Amino acid sequence: MASNTKELLSRLKTSLPRVDERSEPERPLHVFPKLPVEKANKGSRAPKLSVSLYQQDIDRLDTIKDFMKSQGFRNLSDSEALRLACRKVAIDGTLVEVYKSMQSEDGRRKQ
């Protein structure tokens, strides 16, 4: 049975598509000063936040979760995926362009 398992794993490894880790072009990121990280007390919780997301945003969160799963991090929550996105985002001029695009999607706001 061990040889069957090895053969199956070998076939599976060659049949799965390769993940391109550099699918997005690198952009210079804004450098934030290192702040002291306070370790949360056991049992303490982060403040709750309610957000509204469009389907493309939810799809992007799912993509983040799928990527992390492929890297061995199972069961990533939506909250963790949002925190990853917030910490990874480049704070530069492209952020303004993305925001303007988002404003055009949201019919409640005046432009």
Q: Tens digits of per-residue pLDDT, 1-37?
A: 567 788 877 777 777 666 665 555 555 555 566 666 6
Alpha-helix residue ranges (DSSP H) falling in the chain: 2-15, 55-70, 78-88, 93-105
Please state whether the predicted TM-score (pTM) of the whole model is above 0.85.
no
What value does the mean pLDDT of the chain take? Answer: 79
The mean pLDDT of 80-93, rounded to a whole number, is 91
| Token code pair at residue 80 | 């963790």
- What are the two backbone dihedrals, phi and then psi, of residue 96, each rounded to the nearest 5 degrees? -65, -40
CB 30 within 8 A of CB 90: yes
| Token code pair at residue 56 | 């493309």
